[in-house]
Amino acid sequence: MRAHDPPRELLSLDDYRRRYAQYRSDADLQALHAAHPMIWIWDDHEIINDAWKDGADNHDAQTEGDHLLRRATAAQVAHEWLPIRSPSADEPIRATRNVVIFTGDAHESYAFDVTDDPNNPAAYARLGGDGAAAAEFVAPSITSRGDAEPLNSLSGVLDAVADGAERLLRVTNPHLRFFDNRHNGYVYARVAADRLSAEFWHVPQVREPTDEQVLAARFDVQDGRPGVVRA
């Protein structure tokens, strides 16, 4: 386990630069970037936890200064470390056949059919997925979920309620195709002309380095058929 650098809430330009430099010093992360192209997905944690348009629940203007200045500082450093290409007006418009959404802020594994009214049997068929408009995959956290621990820890509590949580989620969310809140890991996506395949890979622990991993689930999004299909 590594202590944060700097060991405090990030406020200044130097604070944000030091934290990015620390993260990017990780040898495994460097190897990942060397092996694969990466797509940066903007998140509130690039700035302040639970940020919104006019502020953040985790920002106190009395002790931490102007929110807009802090937001601009964080955005500057994010773009210094994670360059992103903006589309230009002269780029060709591509027809969209299937929509696939990748998200991850829940720190758990989900696969969903996306539909306007999942609880209406006339609009969405729970068994076959007819009526789905898109597919959504929510990736688990890589490390922040932590390893399973005693009940006085977040991981231990989540492990204890996992089965009940899944049953409740499936009753209230009939478009849910996969759920796991016990494991860290990642989603590996393969894109081909006729389908997109998404694989949920989970690891047994994160406190110590390991090359062990398990394929927990795989889903396909087929060309011309919105929604997810268990592969």
Q: Enumerate the domain spans of the chain.
A: 13-81, 100-230
Q: What pLDDT does 57 receive?
A: 87
Please state the rounded mean pLDDT for residues 115-139.
94
User: In the structure, what pLDDT confidence band is assigned to residue 97 with cuts at 50, 70 and 90?
Assistant: confident
> For 52-91, what is each residue's pLDDT tens digit?
888 888 899 999 999 999 999 999 999 998 877 666 666 6
| For residue 104, pLDDT beyond 90 | no
Rounded Cα gap, residues 6 and 203, in angstroms: 29
Rounded Cα gap, residues 150 and 160, in angstroms: 10
| For residue 143, pLDDT beyond 70 | yes
Find residue 195's DSSP bridge partners. Answer: 222
Cα torsion through 116, 119, 121, 122, rounded to 10 = -40
| For residue 16, pLDDT beyond 90 | yes
Tell whether pTM > 0.85.
no
